[in-house]
Amino acid sequence: MNLEDMKRRKDELGYSCEQIARLSGVPLSTVQKIFSGITMRPRFDTLKALETVLGRSGLSDWGGIDREEANCVRETEFHYDACGNGKQSRQKQQGEYSLDDYYALSGEQRAELLNGRIYLLAAPSVVHQAIVLELAAALKDHIRKKGGECFTGVAPLDVHLIPGDENNLLEPDVFVVCDREKITPQRIEGAPDLVIEVLSSSTRKRDMGMKYALYLESGVREYWIVDPDSRKVVVYKMEKAELPIIYTFEEEVPVSIFDEECRIDFSEIAERLSF
């Protein structure tokens, strides 16, 4: 559920902020700030706790669960340890989340799991998505013309970079996987050959820092960071451990995993972004 759904549900059920605070375990002052609009982006754990109350049809439909038990949040769905004897156990903190927690999220909410931390993802801008689609189309067109079997993917699509790793699951903006055994019906299992992240204000630090480190560790062969604000493209050739190469939006950027036979003209992309 998103915030608007919760506000609508609160009105439908006729719950007061005091009732929601008591049933969810969220402090009353926090609940009041959220439903008054003062707090626009609540913490992930706070949202999930509120959903335990507002995601159901009311206490009368809780199948005999008493009020004390209803105040417990179950780990598999809401990221707490198991509830015992009506007592709430320690809440998980950022850095402790796993794939189970990630997949317990509402399907309406996009997120990434990075180093045991869950990051909720805001809707991308028009410019961001325009660049993503242009890049994906150029890569896919090259693969098709060469008769290749590489797969081009775009977010939202789960990429499990390191099989067996329970603390990381990302949604790269654009990626290419050439080993088709890594492609499963649910997600990508293993590191892509090429990953491209288009920077936004909310993801800039992660894309340039933590994600770069994880892509390097997992075996991504080539990593691009596209910065629409500075109109630059930073290219890391991971296999060769070289210093990054910086291109502008006035240049062609060669794709190393395709032996530079594929070159993406960013001046053409920039021209199409003149809206």
- What does the pLDDT look like over 143-186, one tens digit per residue? 999 999 999 999 999 999 999 999 999 999 999 999 999 999 99
pLDDT in tens, 229-254: 999 999 999 988 778 999 999 999 99
Query: Confidence band (pLDDT; 50, 70, 90) for 209?
Result: very high
User: What pLDDT sits at residue 167?
Assistant: 95
Mean pLDDT, residues 103-127 taken together: 87
- In whole angstroms, give the CA distance from residue 135 to residue 175: 10
Measured in whole angstroms, the distance separating CA 18 from the mean position of its chain's CA atoms is 32
* Reported confidence tier of residue 19, pLDDT bands at 50, 70, 90: confident
Q: Give the confidence band of 25 by pLDDT, cuts at 50, 70, 90.
A: confident
Tell me what pLDDT residue 31 has.
83
Model confidence at 90, pLDDT cuts 50, 70, 90, reads low
The whole-number pLDDT of residue 106 equals 66
Strands 194-198 and 174-177: antiparallel
Asked whether 136 and 174 are in contact (CB, 8 A), the reply is yes
**Is the pTM of the predicted complex or chain greater than 0.85?**
no
Residue 71 above 70 pLDDT? no
Amino acid at site 114: L
The residues, any chain, with a CB within 8 Å of residue 60's CB and separated by 6 or more, are none
The confidence score (pLDDT) of residue 195 equals 98
d(CA 271, CA 250): 10
**What pLDDT was estimated at residue 10?**
80
Least confident range from 79-88, 176-185, 259-268: namely 79-88
Mean pLDDT to the nearest integer, 213-228 = 96
Q: Are 148 and 255 in contact (CB under 8 A)?
A: no
Which of 20-29, 51-60, 168-177 has the weakest average pLDDT? 51-60
- Distances in Å between the Cα of 71 and the Cα atoms of 41, 54, 57 are 23, 12, 15
